[in-house]
Structure 1
Amino acid sequence: MSTLGALIAVLAILMIIVGGETGIRSFFSVLINTLLLILVAILISWGISIPILTLIFIPLKLATIIFLGTHDYTVAKNSFYSAFTVCLLVSVLILICQWLAQAAGLGPESGEVLVGLSQMPGLSYPMIAVTVAIFSALGAIAEAAVAMSSGLLELKKHHAQITRKELEGSGTAIGNDVLGTAMNTILFGMFGSFLSLFLWYFRLGYSFGEIVNEKLFVNEALIILYSLIGVLLTVPFSTFLLARGMSKDEVKHGDQKSNTN
């Protein structure tokens, strides 16, 4: 068995032990999302329209992440609505920022690897960069949406008489913790994956101006910013949707009771 296969087996066993049925579904969610990414890459290589593929696979990936990884349907439904709306908003921001940055394509660091190969494969590098940025931000947005919805629903279950204003206030408090952990996770993830490149920049004597204008760094930094903005938008939007939905349910239950009486 290869190292990768052994690690996948360990991951599956631990997820089953810790999460039980939800852990099994979460593991299959990871596998399905990996297959979806491979499928997207294959379809793009076949020349299928990248914007159409992106619009189709955004809800598919969100549904896989959220519904398979969450045992509560109410949490999953609210998380999906809020995450999908935020993803659409962030996608518009990504389109604008990628056009302004003009950082798509291959940097000079890839020169030795691509010697003898064509760097014009007939695909739109800017659209590929947009798709990569959107898919990279999906995970952070979905995670924040599920965390917010789960916390608020548990609060509502234990305090059934809580008002909408109190629920929104609690959502703000929960959101502060979610933001702190999510941002640290995103930033440290970027630093960990980018550490070798940072060392390479410094050993080669890159100036600050050269680093911030380097394609690899700009693309990674933009993806981090998109993810952070997505999380920032998800926290208040999830709170608003859940509080609004609970208020509607209470009104319906009140009408049903009055009609019964």
Structure 2
Amino acid sequence: MNVLVCLAVILFLLMRWIGGKKGTRSFLALFFNFGVVLIGFLFLTHPGINPIIFTVLACIVISCITLFYINEINSKTKIAFLSTMVTIGSLLLFIVLITKIAMIQGFGEEEVEELSVFSLYIGIDFAKLGAAVLIMAAIGAITDTAMAISSPMYEVFLHHPTISRKELFTSGLRIGRDILGTSANTLFFAFFGSYLGLILWFKEYSYSFGEIVNSKVFNTEMISILCTGIGVALVIPITSWIYAYFLVKK
């Protein structure tokens, strides 16, 4: 039994023990989402498929698995799903423009040496592929934040059914402010954790601050973090407003 199997078993036992049946569904959802991503990679290599459109469809499937399969179909998951789709739709044009303006598509000079033996003429628009990567990177954090807003808002309304729409919306924003700070830090340190080797590379080859900031690899990851952060910030008022409008009828 290798390390991956051992860690997977430990994770499953903990999720089953703490989360019960929902924990088991959460564990299985990891593999379902991985299957969607794997199938997505297979289709993205086809020259006739638009990577952006296919990624949006994959994000819809991932959101359905994450929200409806794990937490079942109810008002909280419906609003979280709707808010996620509105946020992704709002970000879509912005991400496409940022990808073209920043020219972050393709590979940086730190990566070209390892890929020099392969042909890059694969018939895929790397600009669209770069935008698809940014969209896929943002979907998890946006869905998580939308659910983290809708669930407490439902509890607030459940205990205070006479609350006004404006007060419920304000409560959602207050909840979102607490989540926003921790989410931004999570995204930031996830980058440094996964790219610690790149940082050591910069230090070993005595990169100046200007060279680091203008490095394509560094810029790609930072733009991904910033776009995801923008999506997390946008989904907070969107979820708060939609759910407040849905719960408070008058």
Query: Which interval holds the TM-score relative to the shorter structure?
Result: over 0.9
Secondary structure of the 1:105 match is coil
Q: How does 1:95-110 map to 2 (within 5 A)?
A: 95-110=96-111
Query: Could you tell me which residue of structure 1 aligns to residue 13 of structure 2?
Result: 13
Query: Could you tell me which residue of structure 1 aligns to residue 26 of structure 2?
Result: 26
Counterpart Cα distance in 2 of 1:111 and 1:46: 22
Displacement, 1:218? 0.8
Task: State the AA in 2 paired with 1:151.
Answer: P
TM-score by length of 2: 0.95
The answer to which of 123-132 and 80-89 deviates more is 123-132
Counterpart Cα distance in 2 of 1:192 and 1:30: 21
- Percent identical among aligned pairs is 34
Between Structure 1 and Structure 2, whose CA radius of gyration is higher? 1
Q: Deviations over 1:164-218 (max 9, x none)?
A: 1221121121111111121111111111112221121122111122112111111
The answer on whether the counterparts of 2:76 and 2:147 sit within 8 Å (CA) in structure 1 is yes
Displacement, 1:71? 4.4
Query: Could you tell me which residue of structure 2 aligns to residue 44 of structure 1?
Result: 44
Return 5+ residue gaps in structure 2 as ranges. none
Counterpart Cα distance in 2 of 1:140 and 1:85: 14
Task: State the AA in 2 paired with 1:157.
Answer: L
Displacement, 1:17? 0.9
Counterpart Cα distance in 2 of 1:120 and 1:210: 28
Query: Could you tell me which residue of structure 2 aligns to residue 2 of structure 1?
Result: 2
Counterpart Cα distance in 1 of 2:210 and 2:192: 19
The answer to which of 1-10 and 222-231 deviates more is 1-10
Displacement, 1:120? 2.1
Q: How does 1:150-229 map to 2 (within 5 A)?
A: 150-229=151-230
Q: Deviations over 1:50-85 (max 9, x none)?
A: 233123212111111221232461110000000110
Secondary structure of the 1:117 match is coil
Q: What is the alpha-carbon root mean square deviation over aligned residues?
A: 1.4
Counterpart Cα distance in 1 of 2:117 and 2:248: 63
The answer on whether the counterparts of 1:22 and 1:71 sit within 8 Å (CA) in structure 2 is no
Q: Which runs of 4+ in 1 moved over 3 A?
A: none
* Count of matched residue positions in the alignment of Structure 1 and Structure 2: 249
